[in-house]
Amino acid sequence: MDIVRNITDLRSVVGGWRAKSESVGLIPTMGALHDGHLALVHASTQSCNRSVASIFVNPAQFGLNEDLDSYPRREARDVELLESARCDLLFAPTADVMYPDGFATTVQVPRLADRLCGKARPHHFGGVATVVTKLLLQCLPDRAFFGEKDYQQLQIIMRMARDLDIPVKIVGVPTVRDADGLALSSRNQYLDENARGVSLALNQALRDAAERLSSGRTSPEEERRRGIMALLDAGFDKVDYFEICDAETLDPLTSVIRPARVLAAAHLGKTRLIDNMAVDPPSI
């Protein structure tokens, strides 16, 4: 696998593939790769001739008191994992390459980005939408792969690519979980043994809510209350939200009459965990 660190080299390699009519998949990441990221690489190698992973810990999507400095960085191991997943190219730019002196433009997707995680992290999705727009325009892939684990991010990127007429198909990949249900995340390594046990309540609460909502036995408002209580009772310190939303617009729902998503974010010590689950409307 080749590694490139600037846009000229990226475009030169991708241009060579394009000249041979090979299709290209892009997998944007922040590194510290795990099986969730590798599922995106796999989805890309299955449907594209060539796959490009990017690793960039994007300062613009971290808030002032967040974990930018301590975010895990392990490029050598990531390279080994990408090679074994048969990725063709790693794009690993520095912050100067992505944000040169004088950089002044941001991409915002208001309504979708203001809610859910956007309330606790007001600058986060602007940073994500800006860096993903740049990565898409730098690489110009046919497809780009994102995890359903970050469901709000996925919907924002789909909307942004559509609105800006970026010629790429955004592909969502199902969440990869540990055997006990916890969604894989680079931040799970912050959890000690006790917190790791408590963390399972997140997946459980979402699954319970999704099942009850699909059976038609309950309302979103009821499940919202129950979900928050279940997480606090299990030992989470704070719940940012437990919401039932339209699966595409993320508008909060008062009844489940179309495909929906139950999404939650909660704090365990210094670690903030998110997860989500599909909710099928009850069959009539």
Task: State the residues that interact with ligand AMP by CB under 6 A.
Answer: 29-30, 36-37, 39-40, 146-147, 149-150, 173, 175-176, 183-186
In the bound state, the residue with its beta carbon closest to ligand AMP is 147
Catalytic residue among 37, 42, 123, 124: 37
**Residue 46: partners with Cβ closer than 8 Å, 6 or more residues away:** none
Measure the CA–CA gap between 142 and 36, rounded to whole angstroms.
Answer: 21
**Least distance (Å) between residue 28 CB and ligand AMP:** 6
Measure the CA–CA gap between 208 and 227, rounded to whole angstroms.
Answer: 9
Whether residue 29 contacts residue 87, with contact meaning beta carbons closer than 8 Å, is answered with no
**Least distance (Å) between residue 157 CB and ligand AMP:** 8
| Of residues 184, 185, 125, the one with CA closest to residue 158 | 125
**Least distance (Å) between residue 117 CB and ligand AMP:** 12
- Which amino acid does the sequence have at 172? G
Cβ nearer to ligand AMP, comparing 224 with 272 = 272
Q: Would you call 37 a catalytic residue per the annotation? A: yes
Measure the CA–CA gap between 148 and 143, rounded to whole angstroms.
Answer: 16
Measure the CA–CA gap between 283 and 156, rounded to whole angstroms.
Answer: 29
CA angle 50–54–57, rounded 5-degree value: 170
Cβ nearer to ligand AMP, comparing 173 with 213 = 173
| Of residues 17, 134, 121, 59, the one with CA closest to residue 144 | 134
**Least distance (Å) between residue 146 CB and ligand AMP:** 4
Cβ nearer to ligand AMP, comparing 37 with 121 = 37
Cβ nearer to ligand AMP, comparing 14 with 39 = 39
**Residue 42: partners with Cβ closer than 8 Å, 6 or more residues away:** 85
Cβ nearer to ligand AMP, comparing 73 with 270 = 73
**Least distance (Å) between residue 82 CB and ligand AMP:** 13
Residues belonging to the active site: 37
